[in-house]
Amino acid sequence: MALEFTDANFQTDVLDSDKLTVIDFWAEWCGPCRAIGPVIEELAKDYDGSVNVGKVNVDNNPQISHNYGITSIPAILFVKDGQVVDKLVGAQPKSNFVKKIELHK
């Protein structure tokens, strides 16, 4: 199951992690966000233990969204060693996520 990243746990769960972290910035009202939700859940299962996969609800966690300049969703950031190493914007097929994960993990 995908993790839930919040303003409160982002530092410890994402920035301080030694694993690649995939972060889906989403909102309940966003159709494309809901469309890729199952893909994010699959990735969380596929990479359980080797890659952190989670979601940030932009409505509930405005600070994180602001810090990363998220202006359109879904936006998926790939973070390693506290730095953004890659990004995807918009609904994407699972294969695009897998390519980015394999490249950076």
| 31 tagged catalytic | no
**Which of 30, 36, 51, 56 is flagged as catalytic?**
30
**Which of 14, 33, 53, 101 is flagged as catalytic?**
33
| 33 tagged catalytic | yes
If one counts every other C-beta atom within 10 angstroms of the C-beta of residue 24, the result is 26
- Mind telling me the catalytic residues? 30, 33
